[in-house]
Amino acid sequence: MNIEWSISELKFRDDVRHFLLENLNDDLLNAGRLMSSVYAEHDASMRWQKILYDKGWLAPAWPPEYGGCDWTPAQHYIFASEKAAAGAPPTSPMGIQMCAPALIAFGTEAQKAFFLPKMLSGEHFWCQGYSEPNAGSDLASLQMPAVEDGDHLICNGGKIWQTHADEANWIFCLVRTSKTDRPQKGITFILIDMNTPGVEVKPIIGLSGEHIQNQVFFNNVRVPKANIIGNIDEGWTVAKYLLEFERGGSAYAPLIKVRLEEIRQFAATSASDIAASVLDEPLFAAKLANAEIQANILEIYELQTLCLLSQGQSPGTNASVMKILGTELQQTVTELALDAAGHYGNSFQPQAARPGGTVHYPHASKVYGPGFAAIAPLRYLNERAGSIYAGSNEIQKNILAKLALGL
């Protein structure tokens, strides 16, 4: 594989850099730089979404007829890399990167015409309704019932770990419409308006004190059958397709490489604040170098996966590989940052960050020590969930053992 950019690709890279330079103001840059989790501050994220929408670059992976970009795999990767390097805040993936591919693949023309433009404009802000208190990594065991009543389904039960359900006005859900010999059968994929009577959202406060996740309860919620994606009782096929995009539809490596460079720069200049530069410690220097090597390996794998996506194929088992490698490396990065932070990493200082949700635990107003060091423990705490969400990494290894190795 030739990893050198062509002249036209370098021209595209320059165009992206110019766009980012022109449109990323100081507030948006701060929102990206001071993130403490994988989610940016909501208001800043939505402002950035509007800018990308106006440019036509919000959903480049969508087919052009629905508002996407007719880009090559190299252009997609250049765009992701340049956004990360510039410090742009991410947009929410729930609608554009997760629900949309499933909707495009399995939805009716009427559904696509109604939902896709509103995803792009931000009129609809989405969350995911998959996990339940007793059905997380073993998602096929979900039990939330939905009973047919004429042209509607009546939904009762609850979902848990819904990111930004407190901000969302739509949720894509998996519900149990029948029970058969196999748990994967009898599941239906449905879109629910969060303003429907009977929907209740309760907050879950994370280890870092942030309110990003939620629990959602459904009490006799009536949902039109017209909101079913695919066929009733056949939602598992839609869900599996969506999970491939959740796990492997985006690139981990660009932001990981940016974060590693931040650690290297901080570690090299921290001698005046910490007893000695941690780069002088052989073990830390070796761990940092190894993480940089792993990031380069992941980048090559992601480029190969983008080639599949550009040809209209799903990521397949590559999604599981990327999910494992990407989330474990993200955790390694936060551990290295915490090592570099030294004693400054012992303090709880959410006031140093621009978190993805309201911080509920008490904290001071001033920041003690360098900002990088103050944010390090917050990112560390948030990233502990990386190897669990979107299907735990243990489940991903089982998938690879079965589908890739035939075990």
pLDDT at site 138? 78
Q: Note the pLDDT tens digit of each residue in 64-74.
A: 999 999 988 78
pTM, two decimals, is 0.88
Q: Note the pLDDT tens digit of each residue in 134-184.
A: 887 778 889 999 999 999 999 999 999 999 999 999 999 999 999 988 888
What are the chain's domains? 7-91 (no CATH), 125-240 (2.40.110.10), 251-404 (1.20.140.10)
Range picked from 1-5, 46-50, 314-318, 337-341 for highest mean pLDDT = 46-50
- Structural contact between residues 326 and 256, judged by C-beta atoms closer than 8 angstroms: yes
- pLDDT exceeds 50 at position 272: no
pLDDT at site 165? 96
- pLDDT exceeds 60 at position 273: no
Q: Note the pLDDT tens digit of each residue in 180-234.
A: 888 889 999 999 999 999 999 999 998 888 999 999 999 999 999 999 999 999 9
pLDDT at site 22? 97
Q: Note the pLDDT tens digit of each residue in 353-385.
A: 999 999 988 788 888 888 899 999 999 998 988
